[in-house]
Copies of this chain bind each other. A is one copy, B any other.
Amino acid sequence: MEEHDELKKTGLKVTLPRLKVLNIFESSKEKHLTAEDIYKEMLGSGEEVGLATIYRVLTQFEQAGLLIRHHFESGKAVFELNEKSHHDHIVCLQCGHVEEFVNEGIEKLQTQVANEHGFTIIEHSLYIYGDCTKKDCEYKK
């Protein structure tokens, strides 16, 4: 059991809610999910779970390095599996569609900027917002 061991390694107890949350991230077609998304998904599939547990688990997973937390401009935190290889995001302001990208040039220039300002760079957040060109792109509340 893959997810079981992944949890074991974090030192966290292997519980049903935790397994399910991990499972949702690993099987969902949408990889960027909010606490609410997870919660509804679990309720929908008949799980008995409290929203507080979801929030707790997400934060624990983040601290354990399993998840990454993002703040798009929606106001709510968005999580995704920590794939280890860094990437940034471009988000459609119309339909919410998210695409990922890595641009070595941008990464290098950021380090350079930090150096120029006497900072040791720890992390960065870069979100590009715009209009996408998906055929089914439309504003969704």
Binding site for B on A (CB under 8 A): 71, 73, 90, 92-93, 99, 101, 103, 105-106, 109-110, 112-114, 116-133
Contact at A131–B127, with CB atoms within 8 Å? Answer: no
- Report yes or no: B113 in contact with A120, Cβ–Cβ below 8 A: no
A-B CB contact pairs (8 Å), 25 listed: A73-B125, A90-B113, A90-B114, A99-B117, A101-B113, A101-B117, A105-B109, A106-B110, A106-B113, A110-B128, A113-B128, A114-B128, A117-B132, A118-B132, A119-B130, A119-B131, A119-B133, A120-B131, A120-B133, A122-B129, A122-B130, A124-B128, A125-B125, A125-B129, A126-B126
Other-chain contact of A123, B99, B123, B129 (Cβ < 8 Å): B129
Q: Are B132 and A119 in contact (CB under 8 A)?
A: yes
Taking CB atoms, residues of chain B closer than 8 Å to A119 are 90, 92, 99, 128, 130-133
Identify A120's interface contact among B103, B112, B126, B130, CB under 8 A: B130
B125 touches A131 (CB 8 A): no
The 3 A-B pairs at the shortest CB distance, nearest first, are namely: A119-B130, A121-B130, A118-B133
